[in-house]
A = this chain, B = another copy of it.
């Protein structure tokens, strides 16, 4: 394989480091390294400092395993949120995506991944037992039923993980739900994949005007 010639060992090491990021090729890495070289020294130190601070200082919410700066994340410590609804998601980005919709007012539970035997990820690598404990702990004090929304991806691994969790929490008497699946709102039939289209017809719902 062709190996570029770097005029400087320091440059080569920085390109190696930047190029190790996912989705950043060696050409982009060189471009970014030379960009950083043109910036004032304090900006570069601010850049690397922010990354170090994130890696060294980050904490996870003791209740929902969301990334945070404290023992409880801002969502878990917000008393206006509905503590009778727990939305189970794969990762931090999913929480941010759902929060960005402004449509959900319950709590979360971040699994930290998904069951994937091919990648060596089993149930014990995820915060599933913490979820079960949490459900057990909440359920006893129940005046209204506890709802757990399994908002995992729709692929085989997501379905497997959802089913694994369902089997553990359904016997505890909680209401288990999942986000609606079907044609995208505003989507054209013509461009829907046939799996989605077929299932959307099979799972058809009473017509209502868009709110």
Contacts and interface: CB of A to CB of B under 8 A. Distances in A.
Nearest to A33: B54
Contact of A96 (B5, B36, B44, B92): B5
A36 B50 CA distance: 12
Contact of A36 (B4, B9, B54): B54
Interface stretch (A66-74, A156-164, A195-203): A66-74
19 contacts: A5-B99, A7-B66, A7-B67, A7-B95, A8-B59, A10-B53, A13-B53, A17-B46, A18-B51, A20-B47, A21-B32, A21-B36, A31-B93, A34-B91, A34-B92, A36-B55, A37-B58, A47-B51, A48-B52
List the number of copies, as a whole number. Answer: 2
Interface of A: 2, 4-11, 13-14, 16-18, 20-23, 28, 30-37, 39, 41, 44-59, 66-69, 73-75, 91-93, 95-96, 99-100
Contacts of A49: 48
